[in-house]
Amino acid sequence: MTFTRWENRSVIVTGGTRGIGYGIAELFARQGAAVLLTGRDERTACAVAEGLARTTGGRVTGRGVDLRTPAAIDEMAAEAVRLHGGIDVLCANAGIFPEKPLREMTADDVDEVLDVNLRGGILAVRACLPTMEGAGRGRVILTSSITGPTTGYAGWSHYGASKAGQLGFLRGAALELAPHGITINAVLPGNVRTEGLAELGEEYLRGMAASIPLGRLGETSDIAHAVLFLASDEAAFITGQTLTVDGGQTLPESLDAIAPAAP
Ligand code: NAP
The residue ranges of every structural domain in the chain are 10-242
**163 CA distance to ligand 1 middle (Å):** 12
Cα gap 116→187, rounded to integer Å: 17
Cα gap 91→95, rounded to integer Å: 12
Give CATH for domain 10-242: 3.40.50.720
pLDDT of residue 254: 87
Atom of ligand 1 lying closest to residue 40 CA: 48
pLDDT of residue 261: 75
Cα gap 123→75, rounded to integer Å: 11
**15 CA distance to ligand 1 middle (Å):** 6
Cα gap 148→100, rounded to integer Å: 15
Residues 6+ apart with CB under 8 A from 18: 39, 48, 194, 195, 196
Cα gap 19→15, rounded to integer Å: 8
Cα gap 214→11, rounded to integer Å: 31
Nearest CA to ligand 1 atom 8: 15
Catalytic residue among 22, 153, 159, 204: 159
Specify the length of the chain in residues. 263
Cα gap 151→208, rounded to integer Å: 13
Give tens-digit pLDDT for 72-108: 999 999 999 999 999 999 999 999 999 999 999 999 9
* Cβ–Cβ < 8 Å for 73, 65: yes
Atom of ligand 1 lying closest to residue 163 CA: 34
Check whether 1 has a pLDDT greater than 80. Answer: no
pLDDT of residue 263: 73
pLDDT of residue 167: 98
Check whether 19 has a pLDDT greater than 80. Answer: yes
Give tens-digit pLDDT for 116-158: 999 999 999 999 999 999 999 999 999 999 999 999 999 999 9
Query: Does residue 22 have an active-site annotation?
Result: no
pLDDT of residue 150: 98
Give 178's DSSP letter: G
